[in-house]
Structure 1
Amino acid sequence: MIKCLVVDDEPLSRQVLKGFIADHPDLELAGECKDALEALSFLEKTRVDLLFLDINMPKLSGVNFYKSLQNKPEVIFTTAYAEFAVEGFELNAIDYLMKPIAFERFFQAVQRVKDKLGQPSANQPIQQYIMLKADKKVYRTPYEDILFCEALGDYVKVHLKDKVLIVTTTMKKLLAELPDHFFLRTHKSYIINKTKVEYIEGNQIKIGNQLVAIGQSYREEVMKALG
């Protein structure tokens, strides 16, 4: 699934795109934002594969917002103004959709995203493990063995079923390598394996014999992701 974020200051435009995303079998809606500043806050907590990004927005344009991102998702620009197309494509945008957007045109743009991302076909195996560097070794670690990850300065403590690895990486880099359908950031210091959650109580999650914190700014996203 391609995880999408819709960023547009017009409620009707957001509604149209959300409907198109819901109708497409390869897309998943991660969220919606009414302006670039809200989107920036969202992307600090949640990784997405694709932005549907309006260009003409108040305070900060979609183009300038996209230029400011360090880790850029793929982007499809949307706007009612054709004169912005050149600037959008100079940023290596996948496509440029003119409002009002037709589903057929939307579908074509998404197909270009799929081609670029190289989505695996149904008979192509999907990787179920991550390579973790710890103790001067590189461990082949199945996702299902990871309970949760804990920040430790310039390192990360990866809590497994039977041991703990002190991994040479940062939380941000590790989160970018872990698949969203398994893992979720619950706090600036914690990433959990969603399949290992036993229960939620207050601002804590029980995993194995440990209680993992839920940060206040992450709580809404955590509760949504865990249903």
Structure 2
Amino acid sequence: MSIIISETMKKLALVALCFVSTTIHAQTLKNIISESAPEMHFGLFSDWSAIVEHFIAETPDLSLVKVFESAIEAVTSPEIKEADVLFLDIEMPHMTGLELLDALDSSPLVVLVSSKSEYAIDAFNLDVVDYLLKPVTYGRFLKAISRIRSINSSKVELSPEKSDVFVKSDGKLTKVLLEDIQWIEAQRDYVLIHTDAKQHFIHSTMKRLSDRLKSDSFIRVHRSFIVRFDKITDIQDSSIAIGKKVIPIGASFKEALMRRIDML
């Protein structure tokens, strides 16, 4: 797992890693070297953490700041909430990468890494930026970094009076009234904003929108859903409804939702 922390992604990204230690077969390492950028220089690495560390070292404006040795260590670390991007190995002992994501109240941008393609659908349902299959080449790593920078450059700007939001899509900024938003949901590497009148696709993440929409009017009820509180028509034990739309309640978000209800 890797965490990229940056004040300004275009200028500098600081990175921390957490991978389960796995020995890499000599032929696999040879293939990674041959498929990577010719100007790169590799040592003999014994696990994927070292491979990704080297990718970071060879990439301009990326700096390694932290290496986690397990998901359990990461989930209790304050650095994970300060991070902008998280590279996360799925296959780890005691707690998988997917379980770690589900346990976090909020997380940075996430890139999952796995030796199996079967997790891909579940991964994108968890609002991840990218899904890398092992063996990861330097070129594929750079593609993930490019995607991260693209998302970081997308803007959702709140107006001073906080009654509307400007959404960047199709090369222009479109005003969306906050009172018209019903719910927001993750759709792979896009986010879909549902309003009373229409839908808006934007190239962003739930974390970015959640940070920008910090308001009593909105609440995140699941890793993949943010809802406008006054649009909720029904609340069940594990789901809420906005009209005919049923939205699941994530286990790590339920307590905050119940506190909001108790305040009424």
TM-score by length of 1: 0.49
Q: Which has the higher contact order (CA 8 A, sep 6+)?
A: 2
